[in-house]
Amino acid sequence: MSEVLAFDWGTTIVGVLDVNSDSYRAYRTRKERIEGARRVVNCAGHILSFNGRTRDLLELSKILELPSEAHLTLQGMHHDMMPIISAIRWPPEPDTAPITGPNLTETYQHYFGKVFPAPPPHVTDEYEISNWLDCKMTAALWIRWQQGELTQ
């Protein structure tokens, strides 16, 4: 089974959820954030984000002190769920810009309702809980997409 990592960047965190084992790690210190960014970049399987193309990957390139995001080379296949879901819910007309759609929380609620998953017992810091939830919601959306269950 190939590795599947959902990740989310925050101002003082890189959070990574291993989707296969449902294990989460928060990388908080500068040294840890570099380690977390490398873990994402070196993942040879699937890399999941929500709005990662326009934000999270740019921030990972900064953490890794690359000259620009263009120098960030991912080993695996990146799936940015924001444009994927936007294309499903609002298929763009020819020669028009795609609709970016709502934020992650609203997108998750559209497909799963208002009940959110509870964090694992070891995640107790509020900032880490928020980061974990973003990773978890992104992973849930990806799983539904892979199963062909996302519709308008």
pTM of the complete model: 0.94
Q: What pLDDT is attached to residue 20?
A: 98
Q: What pLDDT is attached to residue 90?
A: 87
Q: What count of Cα atoms within 13 Å lies in the side-chain half-sphere of residue 4?
A: 15
Q: What pLDDT is attached to residue 14?
A: 98
- Within a 10 A sphere around the Cβ of 62, how many other Cβ atoms? 15
Instruction: Return the bridge partners of 48, or none.
Output: 6, 79
Inside any domain, residue 56: yes
Inside any domain, residue 59: yes
Q: Total domain count for the chain?
A: 1
Range of the domain at 71: 4-146
Q: What pLDDT is attached to residue 69?
A: 84
Q: What pLDDT is attached to residue 121?
A: 95
* List of the chain residues with pLDDT < 70: none
Q: Is 60 helix (H, G, I), strand (E, B) or coil?
A: helix
Helices 81-89 and 126-146, interaxial angle, to 10°?
50
Inside any domain, residue 151: no
